Amino acid sequence: MPAAKELDPLRSLSTLAGKMLRNRRRAAGLTQQQLADRIPLSQSMIAGIELGKQVPSAQTAQAIDDAVGAAGELAALWHHVRRGLQQRVLYPVWAHGYLEAEAEATRIQHFANLFPGVTQTEEYARAIFEAANPLFGGDIEEKVEDRMARKVILDRPDPVWFWSILDESALYRVVGSHQVMCAQLTHALELAERPRVTFRILPYDRGMPGGVVSIGAILLLSRPGKNEAVYWESGLNGALLETPSEVGVYRAFYDHLELEVLPPKASTELLRKAREEHHAHCTHH
């Protein structure tokens, strides 16, 4: 069960939705029982929703929204609460802070030996979750669905600036199958055509700053009105760091790493070469 502190943002949002419902219901001249009869629900359920202690299902949320004339505003709030609660279940506790930071970030700088989550195809993500399932468990399809939903940060009207440095091994290590890898590399090449998405490759023959051999994944996040944050993950654990002294170490690492990587054009050519030569039987050319 997540700590109470971690649930505060969701509780606050649920409480806000409840207060809005109460105001809308009263403005419509309805008692709790009258509103409950329209849905239909029990009066106690309506009371719990107004107190922020109950979160309605998608269908019920829309019915309540329609009944009080909220024009989708309440349904949208409850959607965010439900999705947040689902993520608490789908992701380990150390990732919860990152998911919130990712959603509000204006720039993300990534480094790992796997393609980052928001740039993954369904098949690539599913292969990763299937491989991890014996250790971590959980519903694979729910995890895939949620990961695909997170791609909204690349597709919104003002998309995040997303810069990824990939260890060269990410291009060749087979995740799922050669066909899955071909589709993933094709997707990365398509994303790289967008002005705010960049992939750069750290070649095998280049070292990492500080003699680091492997550090898992790191992501540096810039957010409006907040200090830069860094998220690191090694598979079995991770953390979101916001203390300037801690973030500074990872910022220095990333800045030095950028001196070793291939420029964007050469990186794109290596992505294409890996797809055509190493995953030769794919059908996405």
Identical fold for domains 4-88 and 92-278, yes or no, is: no
Residues in Cβ contact with 32 at an 8 Å cutoff, skipping those fewer than 6 apart: 25, 43, 46, 47, 50
- Rounded distance, CA 60 to CA 138, Å? 26
- Cα 191 to chain centroid distance, Å, stands at 17
pLDDT of residue 89: 59
Which CATH number describes the domain made up of 4-88?
Answer: 1.10.260.40
Residue extents of the structural domains in the chain: 4-88, 92-278
Question: Is the bond preceding 40 in cis, omega lying within 30 degrees of 0?
Answer: yes
pLDDT of residue 2: 41
Q: How is domain 92-278 classified at the architecture level of CATH?
A: 2-Layer Sandwich (3.30)
Flag residues of the chain having pLDDT under 50: 1-7, 285
pLDDT of residue 202: 95
Q: What are the backbone angles phi and psi of residue 104, rounded to the nearest 5°?
A: -105, 0
276, 60, 82: which is closest to 185 by C-alpha?
276
CA neighbours closer than 13 Å in the CB half-sphere of residue 186: 16
pLDDT of residue 1: 35
pLDDT of residue 4: 40
pLDDT of residue 177: 93
pLDDT of residue 45: 84
pLDDT of residue 17: 85
